[in-house]
Chains A and B, each alone.
Chain A
Amino acid sequence: MAFRDDVRRIRAIVWKDLTTERRSKAGFNSVASLGVTILVLFGFALGPDAQALRDAAAGALWLAVLFAGVLAFNRSYQVELDGGALEALLLYPGARWAIFAGKLIANLIFVTAMLVIVVAVGIVLFQVRVPEQWPTLLGIMMLGVVGIVALGTFYAAMSSRSRAREVLLPLLLYPMLIPVLLASMEATKAFLNGDLLNASGAWVQMLSLFDVIFLVATFLAFEYVIEV
């Protein structure tokens, strides 16, 4: 019964976060624009060499997702801080992990929507050949997104009460995300290059392991970081 109540609360938080995000038009537009801008800048920096662009595509794409994602994570708690809504949210009875789960799912949907735009632009800009097994590539990218969003949502909660949260979040998040980023980039790169040596498998396994560790750790620790 209690679990069903928590599921109801999770759904309510997801609905609330996505509704407020959809209505405040600046949110998604600015985050997606930043992701695209980063890709364009990488494109300029790499020059017109088609092979160089293709080789750098995976790295540029994940960095664009990461930098734009940080904006999204900060925003997801900014909504709670405006008008003291976080206080009201913490006063509702029920398990605190349900709040984290709701925020995590909403951020997953948000970042995935942003990823679709960034990937579409990246394919055109970096002249990437879409592999035949693109659903597998999509799976790899989702694994990477889960890792980034889990840690991003967690550290955004941790830094949300700090006045310097815009600076604090990247400082806390980026070093922790190195393993996820590395595994995501390498798995994506190997797959885009045809994965002739079957190198992506090992990176995918590592990515899956990081996801599991980060999800378990963040769910367990959230109650302590959100309390004052």
Chain B
Amino acid sequence: MNLQVRAGEMVGLLGHNGCGKSTFMRIVATLLKASAGDCFVYGSNVKTEGDAVRHHVGFFSHVPGLYDDLSARENLAFAATMLGFPEADIDAALERVGLTHVTNERVRGFSAGMQRRLSLARLILQRPRLLLLDEPYNNLDVAGIALMNGFIRELNAAGGAAVVVLHDLVPAQGVIDRTVTIKEGRVVVPTADDLRHDGASPQAITLPAGAAGIS
């Protein structure tokens, strides 16, 4: 599988269930080790320089990754401390995702959509250079989808890259620059961009390198 994503670009990953989209995302996010091949994020190898990669990557998975017994604010405060970002930005992030009315309420009582919004607030705090979104529109209402797309556009405008796993292209219309279809772990019907891999080995995946995102 060869794929290169440039900075400021949003790539949609399409494919049947079980074709390897989520596995690919988890490899890039350093949550899984690839059995073969290479993957670079902003020049750092995901296999050997995991910590450097994690500084650049924000992963929005299908699970919220929140603590039920902490409040919305406490969840974000924990994330801010772990990421080394100021807690001062928490209120702004909560306001942006429309959760100011439940700031001090425990996540346990949140709906699935509210939990997704809180996960998005965590990404807003982080402002990663490479955004990995695994089915990001699940459980989001129309306003939530607009919020997600607004954040992606803003990040891309700032030079960040995004890779998004999609089953439905409709919510991502106007945000995606191009789509890549995966079948059995391989890119099928590749575009001219996918074929041009700057001399990288046939096993290499490139996410924003240099001015851009995944290689």
8 A Cβ contacts from A1-27 to B? 5, 8-9, 11-12, 15-16, 19-20, 23-24
- CB distance B82 to A84 under 8 Å? no
Task: Compute how far the CA of A90 lies from the CA of B33 in the bound complex, rounded to whole angstroms.
Answer: 13
Kindly list chain A residues whose C-beta atoms are within 8 Å of the C-beta of B30: 90-91
Task: Compute how far the CA of A15 lies from the CA of B122 in the bound complex, rounded to whole angstroms.
Answer: 19
Kindly list chain A residues whose C-beta atoms are within 8 Å of the C-beta of B200: none
Task: Compute how far the CA of A79 lies from the CA of B107 in the bound complex, rounded to whole angstroms.
Answer: 13
- CB distance A94 to B82 under 8 Å? yes
Interface 0/1 of B68-91, CB less than 8 Å to A: 111000100011011110000000
Q: Is residue A44 contacting chain B, with contact meaning CB distance below 8 A?
A: no
8 A Cβ contacts from A160-180 to B? none
- CB distance B69 to A87 under 8 Å? no
- CB distance A90 to B31 under 8 Å? yes
Q: Is residue B159 contacting chain A, with contact meaning CB distance below 8 A?
A: no
A81 CB to nearest chain B CB (Å):
10
- CB distance B82 to A20 under 8 Å? no
8 A Cβ contacts from A120-171 to B? none
- CB distance A8 to B84 under 8 Å? yes
A28 CB to nearest chain B CB (Å):
13
Interface 0/1 of A167-203, CB less than 8 Å to B: 0000000000000000000000000000000000000
> Which of A23, A79, A87 is close to B65, meaning CB atoms less than 8 Å apart?
A87
Task: Compute how far the CA of A228 lies from the CA of B33 in the bound complex, rounded to whole angstroms.
Answer: 7
8 A Cβ contacts from B59-73 to A? 59, 61, 63-70
Interface 0/1 of B41-56, CB less than 8 Å to A: 0000000000100110
B44 CB to nearest chain A CB (Å):
11
A214 CB to nearest chain B CB (Å):
26
Kindly list chain A residues whose C-beta atoms are within 8 Å of the C-beta of B79: 88, 92
Task: Compute how far the CA of A57 lies from the CA of B33 in the bound complex, rounded to whole angstroms.
Answer: 49
What residues make up the interface of B, taking CB atoms closer than 8 Å to A? 29-33, 51, 54-55, 57, 59, 61, 63-70, 74, 78-79, 81-84, 106, 115, 122
